[in-house]
Structure 1
Amino acid sequence: MSRLALKHIGKVYDNGHVAIDDVSLEMADGEFMVFVGPSGCGKSTLLRMIAGLEDISSGELWIDDKLANDIEPAKRGLAMVFQSYALYPHMTVRDNMAFSLKLAGHRRAEIDAAVRRAAQTLQIEHLLDRKPKALSGGQRQRVAIGRAIVRRPGVFLFDEPLSNLDASLRVQMRIELARLHQELGSTMIYVTHDQVEAMTMGNRIAVFNAGRVEQVGAPLELYQRPANRFVAGFLGAPRMNFMPARALGRHAGGLELELPGGFRLALPFIGAGSDELTLGVRAEHLRFAEAGLAATVQLVEHLGDQQIVYLRHAGEGETIAMKLPGHEAEPRPGERRFIAPDPLHCHLFDGDGLALERPEPALRPAAELSA
C-alpha cells in the first residue's frame, strides 16, 4: 500500500495550454479514489503525471514520504491499466501477464500462481494459451487488468479500463475491481467519465472540470450536497433539473422564490447572494401535484421498476425529468400537469454557480440511489 499527496500540481504544454491548474489532493493508504469529469477535463493527464508518463510543470508529487517528480516510472511502485490494451501480440495471454514478474526475477512457481489467481478473478483461465489476436476487445482489456494485478503494486492506476466492455461485463468488472480492492488493500486511482462507475466504486470522488478539481468527497456527499452547479449537473442520471428562480424575500418558511409561470415556493435556505438564482432539483424529488409548476408531458420512458417522465414547463425550453414508481398510472404525452419539488431536497445556486447553504437533508436509501 502507498499514500499519495499532490501539492499544487500544474501542467502547461509548450503551446500555452493549461491542462492541470493547481490541483492539490491527498490519497490515504488503501483508498479507492475516482477521478471523474467530461472529456478533456484533465483527469487522464493527471493520472499520467502520477505514473511518470507526463512531466510535472509545477508542484510536487509525493509517494509515501518521497518526492516523486523525478523518479523513473518503473521505480514508483505503480501499475497502470490503460483504455488501450497495449498487449504484446507475439505472446500468449499467460506470457503477457507473467512478463513483468519474469523481468523482476520471480520464481516460476510464484509467477504461475500469481497468473492463475488473476485469471480466475477475471474469468479468463480458458484464454491463457491464446494470443491477443484471438481475443475480443473485452477479453484483451481483462488481460491488461490481469497484467497489473499480478504485480501487486502499492498503487493501481486505471485509465477508463472498462470503456471497451459491453454493459453486462462492465457491471461484473466493477464488482470484481471492488472485490480486488478489498482483497489487496492497495491504493487505487480510477479515471472515468461515467458517473455511475464513479458513484458505485469510489471511497471518494474528485470531480474535474477544465483542469481543476471542483469538489472532492464521498459519493453521497457530492450527490446530496454539490458545491456548485457543475458538480450538481454532472452527477446523477437523469441530470439534475435546473430552472431560473427569483428571490422575493424571507418569511417563516424560509426563502421565498418565484419560478417560471409565477409559481412561488418557500425553501429553508439560510440566505441568498442575489435576487437572480437557479433552482436545482433531482428527478426523484419531483412529484405531480394539485398546484405547482405548470408543465406538459413530452415523453415517458419505462424502466420496469420506475418510469422517467420528461416534461416542458411553460415559457422555458429546457426539459424537466421526473422519476416515478413503475406501478403508478402512466401520464400521457401532451398532457398538462402541475409538478412540485420537495422543498427539503432542493438546491439553490447563485449567479456564479455556487451552491447556497441549506439544512442537511435526510440520507436517501442506497437502493433508491442505485435505481
Structure 2
Amino acid sequence: MTTRPLFEKVLVANRGEIAIRIMKTLRKMGIKSIAVYSEADTNSKHVRYADEAYYIGSSPATESYLSIKNIIGAIRDSGAAAVHPGYGFLAENANFANILKREGITLIGPSAQVIKKMGDKIEAKKIAVDSGVTTVPGYMGVIDKPEKAIEIAENIGFPVMLKAAAGGGGRGMRVVRNAEEMEKAYESATLEAKNNFSDGRVFIEKLIVAPRHIEIQLLADQYGNSVCVGERECSIQRYHQKVIEEAPSSFIDEETRQKMYAEVVALSKRVGYYSAGTVEFMVDKDKNFYFLEMNTRLQVEHCVTEEITGIDLVKEQIKIAQGEKLGMEQSDLSINGHAIEVRIYAENPKENFLPDIGT
C-alpha cells in the first residue's frame, strides 16, 4: 500500500534533460510536474512533458531561469508545494532557498544555511577540517595580492593550485609551478572567478600530481540518518571539467572506500546535511585521499550511480524533502555492474580546438 504524497505539485526550476529526468520520477510517484520556460524554450520537450507549464521570461537565463522573482511568480500561479532546482541555474543559490522558505515552499534540497556554507570553498574546507576530514595542504584564508600568494606557495611548496573560493566547473583554477608564474596566474584566476561567480576571491592548495578524482554519493534525511551510495570516478577531464564519469571506480579498494564513507558521513552530520549530495576528493597514487568540495545538489552524472545501485536518487530527494526517514541502511546497499557516462565536447580543430556549437 502506497501513501498519498504530501506534495501534489512540484515545480521544476530548470530545463532540458534534467527537467525531464525529474518529471519522470514525479510522474511515477503520482505528483504533478510544473515546468517553467523561457521564450527560447516555448516548444521544448520538458514543456510538453510536464502536466503544467508557465512562462518565466525572455531567452537570456538572467531574465528567466535565473530570475528568482519570475520563478516565485510561477510557483504562486501554479500552486506548487515544492521546487526541485535540478543542477545549474539556482540549484546552489542560498538566497533562492531562503526566499522559498519565507514563501512557505519546500526546496527539494538542503537548507539555505548549508548551501551557503558548503558553496564557499574556503568555509567548506574549514568545516571539513573541524569534522576530521582529510584536506589538501594549503592556505584557507583569502589571498588579496600575488606577492602574498608567492609567499604562501613557497611555504607550502611548489607546485600549487590557485582556486576560486566560489568556483565550480573548472573555472578560476590555475596550476602554478614556480614564483615566476604566480602573478599572471593570480590575475587570470581572479578575473575568471569574478566574471563567472561575481566573486574574485582565490585560495591556494598544494598540487596533487596525477590525481584521481573520486566523488562519493550521499543520501541523508532530516533525522540524522545517512548512507553513502557508492563512488564515481571522474578523473578523465579537459580544462578541469569532467569528460568521463564511471561507477564504481576501478582504482578504489574496499578499505579506502569505507574510510572515505566514514569521512563523508562525519562531514554531513557536522554541517546538518539532508537530501542528496556529493563529496568530492582528490586521491593520489598511494590511495591517500583529500577533500575537495561538497556539491549540495544532484550531479549531472547521478545516473551512473542509479544504474549500479537501482536507487532513484530523485525519488529519495523528494521523500526526504517530504520529511520521510531514509528507508535503507548502509548494509542494505549493493553495487551491481559498471556504468559509464561520457560528455561530448564540441571543439573546432581548425580553430585551435576552440569550443564549437557541434553541428
Same fold (TM > 0.5): no
- Relative to its length, the structure with more strand (as a share) is 1
Q: Rg: which structure is higher?
A: 1
- Relative to its length, the structure with more helix (as a share) is 2
